[in-house]
Structure 1
Amino acid sequence: MSEALKPTLHPAAVSAKVMAITSGKGGVGKTFVAANLAAALTRRGQRVLVLDADLGLANLDVVLNLHPKVTLHDVFTGKATVDQAIVKAPGGFSVLLAGSGMVEYSRLTPEVRDEFVRVLKGLLPRFDVVLLDTGAGISDVVLFAISLAGEVLIVATPEPTSLTDAYAAIKVLSMQQKRRHVRMIINQTVRPGDGRAITGQLQQVLDRFVSTDTGRPVRLIHLGDIPADPSVRDAVMRRQLLSLNNPNSPAALAIAQLANKIDETVLTPNGS
């Protein structure tokens, strides 16, 4: 990777109002969390935009059952304005969707990087919080999108492969982007307390094996758990937000608690 594209923390990442929702591997419910968290934050009075930063393999439109005529690809190529690309999602928040199958976005180029920063800077004054729904893993595109965020939320499940990949992602973020902390959301937990225990185990591994310039490993902040819940699959298959499809389900209530914690500890001036 060239020095010009090395994914260090970008100067645009100056505010906690930009939050990257990411994961070490796919299939852990990252986009589901992003969409439903956006709806929950909107209900709390926040002006929320979800930007589909999974360039080339976008699926936020599928989760929300949206069929956009204008996408982020059109904005990047100058065929449309940002205002033309922003649409309202069920749940009341705004979304800026990326086009699927765009091979040109499988690698980060200076042009894509510059357009991404330009678009994001233009959005910041208009919203209280911008959620970046990134791709999974540690590709150049994913790491660059994360570098634009003041806060990182990693979604993982209790499965060993998910935790191994989450550890790898956190290690990269700690060493390359000098992240001081990362917030953890453990999805599909079986018992109360499982997620906090998993976060603690990951922290022990980081403490032992990952060293940073400061001598202190990245600190994992356990944001919360989302319990395994059959209503999630039903909502996903119906392409509906769980908060609208079944607002009193265990998973929907857990996401509402996550939104409450983010609102009170991240989006407030004295948030941790």
Structure 2
Amino acid sequence: MNDETRPTAERPVAKPGPIKPLGKVVAVTSGKGGVGKTFVSANLAAALAKRGQKVLVLDADLGLANLDVVLNLYPKITLHDVFTGKAKLEEAIVRAPGGFSVLLAGSGMVEYSRLTPTVRQDFLHIMSGLLPHYDIVLLDTGAGISDVVLFAVSLASEVLVVATPEPTSLTDAYATIKVLVGEQQRRTIRMVINQTARMGDGRAITTQLQQVLDRFVVAKPGEKVRLIHMGDIPADTAVRQAVMRRQLLILSTPGCPAALAVSQLAGKIEDTLINKPL
């Protein structure tokens, strides 16, 4: 960050609004941790890359990043080095198994766990540098509704909320959606239900959430929030095996039910978001 953009005591920093995405940006988020959000981000990226898309996944969980663990990567340069000026943006971009690019945050970045003006400006600068070079950028956000998570989500043209059928996950997903509607004026939220037991469970869950939103959450007078069910990912023993081996399911067991579901999700993302003009 140069002297012209660095906050000073003499010149108050205006609170900048979200940038208009220069490309297709999807925030993969969740209300609750442990629902498979990073698993979905990584395997969705691999499935999209397999379809010929140029994909980057940015680990936007600046405080508790773990995308590197899922991908079995040991980066020498992370987003922290770019933020602090120790490295250039292009030096921090790593090629991941599966043919997509990643920008890893580095775990334990305490100074980036709060949305300060410096963190906001640095993040905006990073995004502006990335977006023109990719067909789609996936933001693997932290869970919940902290200011850092909400800011990362605000940069996305689309939001993909990952939840499981567990009541705690659905309660937190509802709370997250409510905040996104109230603070970011979101009118459309896309849902993926992970670890479903039976075919059709996810659509039924999405319908139930929609009914609750219709009753208690109002976007504008006469305007409802729309949940779009993007797919289910069934409970599958191959998922745990791949996670424990730090492998992408799409690569290790491409024919298993969960991998096929992620591939179908990639097809929907490609058809509705990537091939659709902004």
Using the TM superposition, give the Cα deviation of residue 218 of structure 1 relative to its aligned residue in structure 2, in angstroms: 1.5
Indicate whether 1:160 and 2:162 are aligned. Answer: no
Deviation of the 1:94 alpha carbon: 0.2
TM-score by length of structure 1 reads 0.95
Aligned-partner Cα distance in 2 for 1:130–1:147: 14
Instruction: Decide which of 237, 258, 275 is 1:268's aligned counterpart.
Output: 275
Residue pair 1:14, 1:150 contacting (<8 A) in 2 also: no
- Aligned residue number for residue 256 of structure 2: 249
Equivalent residue for 2:128? Answer: 121
Query: Structure 1 residue 270: deviation in Å?
Result: 5.4
Question: Residue 89 of structure 1 corresponds to which residue in structure 2?
Answer: 96
Aligned residue number for residue 200 of structure 1: 207
Q: Which of 31, 37, 50 lines up with 1:43 in the alignment?
A: 50
Q: Secondary structure at the match of 1:266?
A: helix
**Residue 5 of structure 1: how far off its partner (Å):** 5.9
Larger Rg: 2
Unmatched 5+ residue regions in structure 1? none
8 Å CA contact 2:61, 2:105 repeated in 1 = yes
Structure 1 CA distance, aligned partners of 2:92 and 2:162?
A: 27
Runs of 5+ consecutive residues of structure 2 not aligned to the other structure = 1-12
Distance 2:103 2:93 in 1: 5
Give, in angstroms, the shift of residue 180 of structure 1. 1.0
Residues 54-69 of structure 1 aligned to structure 2 (within 5 Å): 54-69=61-76
- Are positions 1:12 and 2:20 aligned together? yes
Amino acid at match of 1:116: F
Cα pair distance change 1:155/1:5, threshold 3 Å = farther
Aligned residues: 266
Q: How large is the RMSD of aligned CA atoms in angstroms? A: 1.5
- Report if aligned partners of 2:19, 2:124 keep a CA contact under 8 Å in 1: no
What secondary structure, in the 3-state scheme, does the structure 2 residue paired with 1:263 have?
A: helix
Matched, 1:109 2:116: yes
Residue 7 of structure 2 is matched in structure 1 by none
Question: What residue number does 2:8 align with?
Answer: none
> Deviation of residue 99 (structure 1)?
1.2
Contact 2:187-2:219 at 8 Å conserved across structures: no
Residues in 2 aligned to 1:85 and 1:214: alpha-carbon distance in whole angstroms: 45
Q: Kindly tell me: are residues 14 and 221 of structure 1, through their superposed partners in 2, closer, same or farther at Cα, counting changes over 3 Å? A: farther
CA contact (8 A) 2:22 2:132 kept: no
Q: Give the drift of 1:215.
A: 3.5
Residue 117 of structure 2 aligns with an amino acid whose one-letter code is P
How far apart are 1:105 and its partner, in Å?
Answer: 1.2
Question: Given the alignment of the two structures, is residue 212 of structure 1 paired with residue 219 of structure 2, yes or no?
Answer: yes
Pick closer, same or farther for the CA change 1:148–1:247 going to 2, 3 Å: same
Q: What letter matches 2:67 in structure 1?
A: L
In 2, the alpha carbon distance for the partners of 1:174 and 1:215 equals 14
TM-score (norm 2): 0.93
Instruction: Return the alpha-carbon distance in structure 1 between the equivalents of residues 26 and 168 of structure 2.
Output: 24
User: Identity of counterpart residues, as a percentage?
Assistant: 72
Deviations 1:187-238 (A, max 9, x none): 0001100000000000000000012234323110000000000000000000
What letter corresponds to residue 240 of structure 1 in structure 2? Q
Letter in 2 for 1:181: T
Paired letter, 2:18: H
State the match for 1:189 in structure 2.
Answer: 196
In 2, Cα distance between equivalents of 1:5 and 1:52: 23
CA contact (8 A) 2:187 2:224 kept: yes
| Secondary structure of 2:160 counterpart | strand
Q: Could you give the per-residue CA deviations for residues 216-267 of structure 1, whole angstroms, max 9, x where no partner exists?
A: 2311000000000000000000000001110101000000000001101111
Q: Which 4+ stretches in 1 moved above 3 angstroms?
A: 3-6
Task: Give the conservation status (yes or no) of the 8 Å contact 2:21–2:131.
Answer: no
Whether the 8 Å CA contact 1:107–1:141 is kept in 2: the answer is: yes
Question: Does 1:143 pair with 2:158?
Answer: no
Does the 8 Å contact 1:188/1:229 carry over to 2?
Answer: yes
> Which residue does the alignment assign to 2:228?
221
- The separation in 1 between residues aligned to 2:63 and 2:120, in whole angstroms, is 14
In 1, Cα distance between equivalents of 2:167 and 2:222: 28
